[in-house]
Amino acid sequence: MASSIPDPASLLSELREVRRAGLVRLRGRSLPALESGAEAVTAVAARTPGAAVETLLRLAVSRLDAGTLRTAAEYTLGLAQGTRDWPASSRRARAASVYGVSVERFRKDHEVMVLGQVAEHILRLVSQGSGAPGAEGAGRGVGTHRFVQVRAGGREVRLTLHVHPVDLLRDVDVIVSPVNVHLALPEQYKSSVAASLRRAAAVRGVTGDVLHDPVHDELREWAARHGTAGRPVLPGTVAATGSGALAGQGVRRIYHAAIAVPRAGTNDYDVLPADVTRAVSRALALLAEESDRHAPALRSVCFPLLGAGRGELSYRVSLAAVWAAVEAELARGASWEVHFLVRAPEAAAMVERIPAGM
């Protein structure tokens, strides 16, 4: 990657420009420092600079401490749900209310601090991306998006590896999300993949209040339609729903893979690798069934490491269980674009070792 580390002063100046313009007005603006940073961290800068800059901003803000700092940054830059088209004055007023100060005081003091913190995290991300290992071995790319070349069915196939929170996923048709066999989603404030997707898919008003919880509602409707309301489904079952507000990010479907079996009398779950493989096989079969019902057709699917969270499977065991089904499908000639999504560097390294047999 040839991108250089942006000049801090230029970066801060361009962040102020983003604050004034808002995300919907980035197209066509000259933001060389941010675009350079995005090129070092993302895989889409050269093709869609506006989208790449937004991805970079979201990733940097996600690194801020949760609470007032992150919330104020989201409002300031229009990253909070439903605020991307708000005028700068409205976003600034909402950010000022987060700290309980006047708009003028926020402009002179808190806003400077907030944007400075965002700039600092962008520089850290770029520094990490520029210094990461290059294309030696199977993996290519650095930062949040990498590519892994594998052989399946006698042909070369490219996998895309995402190393970022699931709610930053863009332009992947289907995301597979783990769920328990009761198809009960976790509350939105929790940190799991399922909770994050439920939160990101929610439709919110201008105050940030949830107006509609479409993924939860559609999953309940699926259970009622299939006669499973009030009782568990078999492990490996996959229920398909829409993606709510995530459709604005190019994510069109969520496939809920029922793999977690609650352990009686505890808050823990049991997950069997065989159930993960069965769920992934079913998800790919469902993708084949649904693909041509949509326009354009569904072509891409993303898998987190199912069962590696509360299910307590190791990264290696989870990946092996997922890959067994994916490899079998690819070996049969399937042409799906396959993505993996992880958060931990250790998990990313495991995916990158797929060509070597993990």
Query: pLDDT class for 41, splitting at 50, 70, 90?
Result: confident
Residue 3 lies in a domain: no
Query: pLDDT class for 1, splitting at 50, 70, 90?
Result: very low
Residue at a domain's end among 82, 104, 131: 131
Task: Report the share of the chain in percent with pLDDT over 70.
Answer: 91
Residues 250 and 316 reside in one and the same domain: yes
Residue 208 lies in a domain: yes
Q: Which residue has the higher pLDDT, 104 or 3?
A: 104
- Alpha-carbon distance of 331 to 154, in angstroms, equals 7
What CATH number does residue 287 fall under? 3.40.220.10
Residue 358 pLDDT: 62
Residues 116 and 36 reside in one and the same domain: yes
Token digits for 284? 């790919």
Residue 191 lies in a domain: yes
Residues 219 and 73 reside in one and the same domain: no
Residue 153 lies in a domain: yes
- Alpha-carbon distance of 201 to 204, in angstroms, equals 9
Are the C-beta atoms of residues 319 and 141 closer than 8 Å to each other? no
Which range of residues forms the domain containing residue 321? 139-356
Residues 298 and 249 reside in one and the same domain: yes
Residues 87 and 105 reside in one and the same domain: yes
Residue 107 lies in a domain: yes
Residues 206 and 273 reside in one and the same domain: yes
3-class secondary-structure state, position 32: helix
Residues 279 and 168 reside in one and the same domain: yes
Count of structural domains within the chain: 2
Sign of CA dihedral 59, 63, 69, 71: positive
Residue at a domain's end among 96, 131, 166: 131
Provide mean pLDDT across the span 185-210. 85
Residue 89 lies in a domain: yes
Residue 180 pLDDT: 95
3-class secondary-structure state, position 29: coil
Query: pLDDT class for 143, splitting at 50, 70, 90?
Result: low
Query: pLDDT class for 115, splitting at 50, 70, 90?
Result: very high
Are the C-beta atoms of residues 139 and 148 closer than 8 Å to each other? yes
Residues 155 and 39 reside in one and the same domain: no
Residue at a domain's end among 131, 159, 181: 131
pTM (predicted TM-score): 0.66
pLDDT at 327 exceeding the cut of 80: yes
Average pLDDT, the chain: 87
